[in-house]
Amino acid sequence: MKISDRLVTLTGAEGDGWDVFYRARTMVASGLPVTELTIGEHDIRTHPRILEEMHRAAMGGHTGYAMVPGVDALRDKVAARLTERTGVATGRNNILITPGGQAALFAAHAGVCDPGDRALYLDPYYATYPGTIRGVSAEAVAIETRAEDAFQPDPETIDAVATGAKSLLINTPNNPTGTVYSRATLEGIARVCQAHDLWLISDEVYDTQVWEGDHLSPRALPGMVDRTLVVGSMSKSHAMTGSRIGWIAGPEEMIYHLINLATHTTYGVPGYIQDAALFALDEGSWLEDEVSAPFQRRRALALDILKGQSTVRVIPAQGAMYLMLDIRATGLSGETFANRLLDRHHIAVMPGESFGRAAAGHVRVAMTVDDEAFATALETLVTFATEVTPHG
């Protein structure tokens, strides 16, 4: 039987730099000790108090179909959070609760793209972006950012390909680069969106992990509230990756239609998960701080280890749980470097090539193991890079 073109062409057009990740997993399965600095999964679990609340809600009977748009109290809470953090008046009808940020990314593109429409995204990119766009039968168009610009997008480069496009997807703080977009960058992007009548899909799932500068939501920029869809999630902020809980914030009319889409796709998010999420948000910042603190600490450790050598150059690491390291001085591709590091030292990092062309010659290090193991792995990586670099 024939499978739809949409599905069989969903992924695969990009490089398959995921070999290292799978090889590391195979090594672990065969009993070899591997320091895995690959995916964005915390080394701590969801806080027990959130789990207790989840249990209480489930035992209390919140196990039937929940409200498809999300329970009112949680929609109100997310709306209040966005109002407080961005200054943009946001109400319940601007919010759809989704099963994680990924479902929100998909719904957002379904909301703005018709089949064949051009949907722009920035390279390097989070692994699912092009497939998400193709999943709604739109054309995924990558726009490269440059290591030399610390991967800050250049509005002029976006402008040059924006004619006729429907949407632009951005992500700040950024996975995989750790870049936090500056106000000037975001204002430039806002100008391009307005000039070309683009929807802006703003993935802000790392908004609680900012180490340098400030997170600015482009929805708060003049003229942007009616053309911006914000993707949020509690995966990263509250170490709730497995709970699948996130949201889309946007104009009421769009949210109305996205609720209709949710009725025909996910049919909502489990009520006991939503209750636990509400509890977590009500707790305020201490929970978020507890989740983000290890990354901030390890980032400081890393900067200390990396100073005083010039073989491995770190991209500024302003936010999120990753370090993007420029290893071009070694003369190796990110993929070769990562494979050799894995074979020789049992340390797994992601080749930059897994995230697009713009991050070739880089590796992404997830700061997701305990401080001591992290520092040792990074020291080993630096020594390895120095050893393989041709001198003279």
Using CB atoms, what's the residue nearest to ligand PMP?
A: 101
Torsion of CA 325, 331, 333, 335, to 10 degrees: -80
Whole-Å CA distances, 348 to 316, 318, 376: 21, 22, 13
Tokens of 154: 């250049």
Q: Which of 131, 134, 107 is closest to 247 using CA atoms? A: 107
Letters for 169-188 (x = contact with ligand PMP by CB under 6 A, - = none) are --x---x-------------
Based on the shown chain and the rule CB under 6 A, indicate whether residue 167 belongs to the binding site for ligand PMP.
Answer: no
Nearer to ligand PMP, 128 or 389 (CB): 128
Is 17 or 100 the residue whose CB approaches ligand PMP more closely? 100
Q: How far is the CB of 173 from ligand PMP (least distance, A)?
A: 9
Q: Rule CB under 6 A: is residue 237 a binding residue for ligand PMP?
A: no
Which positions from 102 through 121 interact with ligand PMP, judged by CB under 6 A? 102
CA gap 93, 72 in Å, rounded: 10
145 Cβ contact partners less than 8 Å away, ≥ 6 residues apart: 122, 123, 124, 151, 152, 153, 154, 177, 358
Interface with ligand PMP, residue 233, by CB under 6 A: yes
Q: What share of residues in the chain are helix, strand, coil (percent, to 5)? A: 45, 15, 40
Question: What is the x/- site pattern for ligand PMP, positions 312-351, by CB under 6 A?
Answer: ----------------------------------------
Of the pair 342, 366, the CB lying nearest ligand PMP is at 366
Q: 203, 207, 275, 353: which one contacts ligand PMP (CB under 6 A)?
A: 203
Q: Are the C-beta atoms of 262 and 110 separated by less than 8 Å? A: no
Please report whether residue 367 would count as binding ligand PMP according to CB under 6 A. no
CB of 242 to ligand PMP, least distance (A): 9
CB 351 within 8 A of CB 124: no
Closest CA to 279 of 244, 234, 309, 248: 234
Q: Enter the tokens of residue 60.
A: 């209390």
- Nearest CA-CA partner of 162 in 187, 130, 197, 123: 197
Which of the stretches 98-106, 137-145, 214-222, 264-272 binds ligand PMP when contact is defined by CB under 6 A?
A: 98-106
Site string for ligand PMP, 27-46 (x = CB under 6 A): -------------x------
Question: Considering the rule CB under 6 A, would residue 241 count as an interface residue with ligand PMP?
Answer: yes
Q: Which is nearer to ligand PMP, 179 or 235 (CB)?
A: 235
Q: What residue ranges bind ligand PMP (CB under 6 A)?
A: 40, 100-102, 126, 171, 175, 203, 205, 233, 235, 241, 246
